Amino acid sequence: MANRALRSSTVVAALTAPVLLLGPAAAVAAPGTPPGRQLTIESVSNPRPALVSGGQVLVKVVPPARPVRVDVSANGHDVTAGFRAQPDGSLLGLVTGLRDGANELSARTSGRGPEQRANLRVTNHPGTGPVFSGSQQLPFYCETQAFGLPPAVQPFCSAPTQVSYRYKTTAGVFAPLADPAARPADLATATVGGHAVPYVVRVERGTIDRAVYELAALYDGEPSPVAPDRGWNGKLVYTFGGGCNAGYHQGTSTGGVVNDLFLAQGYAVASSSLNVLDNNCSPIISAEAAMMVKEHFIETYGPVAHTIGWGGSGGAIQQYDIAENYPGIVDGIIPGVSFPDPLSVGGPVSDCRLLNQYFAGPGASFTAAQKQAVAGFASYDTCVSWEQTFANRATATGSCNAAIPVAARWDPVTNPRGVKCNSNEQLANQLGRDPKTGFVRSPLDTTGVQYGLAALKSGTITAAQFADLNAAIGGLDHTGKPVAQRIAADPKALETVYAEDIVNSASQGLRETPIIDQRTDLDLAGFGNDIHTTEWSYVMRQRLLRANGTAGNQVIIENHPTAPEAAAAGAYELDAMDRWLTAIDADASHRTPQQKVLANRPADLGDGCYLSAASRITEKLTYPASGRCGAQYPVAANTRMVAGESLSLDVLKCRLKPLDFRDYPVTFTAADQERLRAAFPGGVCDHRRPGVGQHPPIGTWLSYGDERTGTTPPTKPR
């Protein structure tokens, strides 16, 4: 949680600590502080002082209990005048002018009693990044003008910061406001901390980490990091946008910040164009952008009590993966229509493309019911939708954004070094490139996968259909072109995705993260062609259970895809998450972080569903679905589950066992047996065993280096 993360960066001074840097100015500690306290200095805007960016850092100094004078310096220069006493007796100050690389900060007491000194080394990185995500994509096309910012140039796409104002009218819409001190006749009010404030919103836009960022908060004069704003409740909502694509451009949208649900209650809102997965399908890059933007927010507005993640689809992927691998950036998450990570979804997406091709050709005789049974979804239209919306992300150039000039795109003959628009491009720093093809190594695999196995066992398809399907399904080559052979994963890619938790194991940061999985049900009810199928919420639950022995920190709440229910669910979930995090922040017990999360879940918060906007019931949700919610919201499967994979869906390449026709409840002809032997020369998937390369991750906060300054080394050699 936020407080836990802050404590991790504290430097506690011993009385014998060596003198580093001193300054002549002074501040006096407030009375009433605990006896025996030692002088400390810590980084507030980024709890990891080795990962500070942008040339400044918000610093907190906690003096000892006795009345003392405190001097603070940075790189030998006195900075104490910039510090301000806080109600808790600490001192807070924004230290600016940091140089790239190491900076030495120091605090010293003087007056009665022995002198104490505390030191903090802060490592600063350029505001254009990277900090830990590794080499940045080149070329990188700028789109600042989409946000009303001036044109920018590659490679950093930097633009000056702009501040504008909007207000909410009594008619319920946001309108521009030239002068934030003006009070239009139709100005609405918001309620923060029990008092009414003018509903005027300050919106800040600029560039950080090569992306365009946005901040929004109620306006109560110019914000200050050392003086609280009465229009801000001290909490931050960080929004994430959907999709998944190759990148190479800045993006024209963020997760959205001018949102009445948040602003009307005094929350501040932040996001970045690299927090939209359609602009950047890398949770690692998204984590870096969110860390840097949140750091800037704190340096503008002050310390944050806790940060809540918000967003659906690809926005949910980012929340789950950032909370798992870079814990502390978001403290609690509310992922909507969720998926666990980009690579877990890749199997069913590729499967759908292959199935669509098969059913349009040799499998044309399959009935609608048979196709649905092979795909596993509630409606086969979901497979059609996957190909229409996302299958081109596995191709070389089929999903290139319009910002990428055609002349710059990859062509095997005319431009073999051009931009490749495969979504795996964003994982180049993790997976590396295949030297034979130049494409990012792929962990996708269909070797041994028995498509339609459950449909065969249920009698929905015949033995002959099963044999023909698996013999003719084919695969996709590295450019996304259909070929007769099945897909084989790159062994180095498999090793990496498990070691570095790119396939989300739910075993690290997520075990200590409050989760409200916001499942707007799009499986049926006229949305049967939607890709956001409900089983993925239960996939993540299964991973939590397997890794931690409990999924008590994840609540799933289902609602129909109507505006009234979505609004009711969103309002309840935001309030419940805030209460959950507030209770954890106040928990001073000796429980472990995981125990605190489980112990402080609000009593009224549990699995359940909305029967209508005015009626929410609480009951345990299960897979397969049961109870009243199960009747309202049935949950289907997908292509890999029908092929025999378990609910955790984290096996990218299965281990094989010999093909044994005694395992099937049907009799195959000699010809069909021969076809299946040819389809499975090495055997079929053995889902009783872990996947190839599957093992526990090596840890959180992995670094892929900072190639510009070298101040953040990679976690391991690459």
124: Cβ contacts below 8 Å, ≥ 6 apart: 52, 53, 54, 55, 57, 98, 99, 100, 101, 103, 711
pLDDT tens sequence across 582-619: 999 999 999 999 999 999 999 999 999 999 999 999 99
Percentages helix, strand, coil for the chain (3-state, rounded to 5) are 30, 20, 50
Residue 279 is which amino acid?
N
d(CA 318, CA 504): 11
Distances, alpha carbon 404 to alpha carbons 144, 410, 524, in Å: 15, 11, 37
- Give the CA diameter of the chain: 96
User: Which residue has 């628009």 as its token pair?
Assistant: 421
246: Cβ contacts below 8 Å, ≥ 6 apart: 281, 393, 399, 400, 401, 419, 420, 421, 422, 423, 424, 425, 426
d(CA 457, CA 376): 13
pLDDT tens sequence across 352-410: 999 999 999 999 999 999 999 999 999 999 999 999 999 899 999 999 999 999 999 99
Give the residues of the chain that fall short of pLDDT 50.
1-35, 718
Cis ω for the linkage preceding 139 (within 30 of 0): yes
d(CA 121, CA 125): 13
Contact by Cβ (8 Å): 550, 512:
no
The Cα angle at residue 517 between residues 516 and 520, in degrees rounded to 5:
130
Q: What are the structure tokens assigned to 245, written together? A: 């694509």
d(CA 14, CA 38): 8
Which contacts of 533-536 are long-range, i.e. CB under 8 A and separated by 24 or more positions?
Answer: 533/377, 533/378, 533/382, 533/636, 533/638, 534/558, 534/633, 534/635, 534/636, 535/623, 535/635, 535/636, 535/637, 535/638, 535/641, 535/647, 536/338, 536/339, 536/340, 536/345
The reported pLDDT for the residue numbered 67 is 77
d(CA 208, CA 186): 35
User: What burial letters (b/e) apply to 325-354, b meaning 16+ CB within 10 Å?
Assistant: bbbbbbbbbbbbbbbbbbbbbbbbbbbbbb
pTM score, whole prediction: 0.94
Beta bridge partners of 610: 616
DSSP secondary structure, 496-520, as one string: HHHHTTSS--S-SGGGGS-EEEEEE
Which DSSP category does 222 fall into? S
Contact by Cβ (8 Å): 25, 130:
no
Q: What are the structure tokens assigned to 409, written together? A: 């795109």
The reported pLDDT for the residue numbered 235 is 98
The reported pLDDT for the residue numbered 526 is 58
The reported pLDDT for the residue numbered 68 is 85
d(CA 316, CA 299): 27
Q: What are the structure tokens assigned to 143, written together? A: 């789109």
| Exposed/middle/buried for residue 33 (C-beta within 10 Å: 0-12, 13-18, 19+) | middle
Residues recorded for the chain: 718
Residue 271 is which amino acid?
S
d(CA 245, CA 613): 35
Contact by Cβ (8 Å): 91, 72:
yes
Distances, alpha carbon 575 to alpha carbons 341, 621, 625, in Å: 26, 21, 27
The reported pLDDT for the residue numbered 113 is 75
d(CA 282, CA 429): 10
d(CA 431, CA 440): 7
The reported pLDDT for the residue numbered 188 is 98
Contact by Cβ (8 Å): 280, 425:
no
Contact by Cβ (8 Å): 240, 229:
no
